[in-house]
């Protein structure tokens, strides 16, 4: 009786160990398709956004806007427009970047065109393979009876080496 009790337990232990990766190596899963459209819309308003390494920009653009250059520099942009005609909309823009562990990274957006104040950009420094979650809020400053507020959230991983 004692012998039959050990046998099922031993079989279960062996099956458990074999199921933990003792087989042939498997191929990695396919890459996920890109699902971030780079914009959110609400009624006639469109909030477009991006976050990219400064080194990916043309040198003339980096110089024109006084961006810090370097492999670890990132620029975040946000633009609020309104249809018809994608007209620039004056707005208040806030940007928050967080690491996966919840550490908040400061991003202070500033307007590119002070007349229309439709496009805003902010800079930050990142580490190699750092994944950041960005949250952008744009609130229209148009003189309408109801204020329009758009929110976007997206994540990016940056490779600085």
Average pLDDT over residues 69-91: 87
In a domain, 125, yes or no: yes
In a domain, 121, yes or no: yes
* Residue 137 confidence (pLDDT): 94
In a domain, 22, yes or no: no
Average pLDDT over residues 8-12: 55
Q: What confidence tier does 10 reach under pLDDT thresholds 50, 70, 90?
A: low
Contact 90, 119 (CB under 8 A): no
pLDDT digits (tens, 9 = 90+) for 22-78: 555 667 667 666 667 899 999 899 999 999 999 999 999 889 888 888 889 999 999
In a domain, 40, yes or no: yes
- The highest-confidence range among 42-56, 109-123, 135-149, by mean pLDDT, is 42-56
pLDDT digits (tens, 9 = 90+) for 13-22: 554 545 555 5
In SS3 terms, 87-139 reads as EECCEEEEEEEEECCCCEEECCCEECCCCCCCEEEEEEECCCCEEEEEEEEEE
In a domain, 117, yes or no: yes
Question: For position 139, which CATH number holds?
Answer: 2.60.40.3340
In a domain, 25, yes or no: no
Nearest Cα residue to 89 out of 110, 61, 120, 64: 120
pTM exceeding 0.75: no
In a domain, 114, yes or no: yes
In a domain, 16, yes or no: no
Mean pLDDT of the chain: 81
- The highest-confidence range among 8-12, 100-104, 146-150, by mean pLDDT, is 100-104
Determine the structural domain holding residue 61 and report its residue range: 36-158
How many C-beta atoms surround the C-beta of residue 90 within 10 A? Answer: 14
């Amino acid at each position: 009786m004692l012998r039959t009790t050990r046998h099922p337990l031993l079989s279960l232990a062996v099956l458990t160990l074999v199921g933990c990766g003792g087989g042939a190596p498997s191929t990695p899963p396919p890459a996920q398709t890109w699902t971030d459209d780079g914009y959110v819309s609400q009624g006639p308003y469109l909030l477009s956004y991006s976050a990219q390494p400064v080194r990916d920009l043309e040198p003339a653009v980096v110089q024109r806007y006084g961006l810090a250059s370097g492999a670890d520099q990132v620029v975040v942009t946000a633009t609020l427009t309104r249809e018809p005609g994608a007209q620039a909309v004056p707005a208040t823009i806030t940007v928050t970047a967080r690491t996966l562990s919840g550490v908040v990274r400061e991003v202070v957006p500033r307007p590119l065109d002070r007349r229309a104040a439709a496009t805003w950009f902010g800079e930050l420094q990142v580490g190699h393979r750092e994944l950041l979650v960005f949250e952008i809020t744009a609130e229209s400053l148009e003189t309408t009876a109801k204020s329009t507020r758009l929110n976007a959230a997206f994540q990016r991983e940056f490779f600085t080496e």
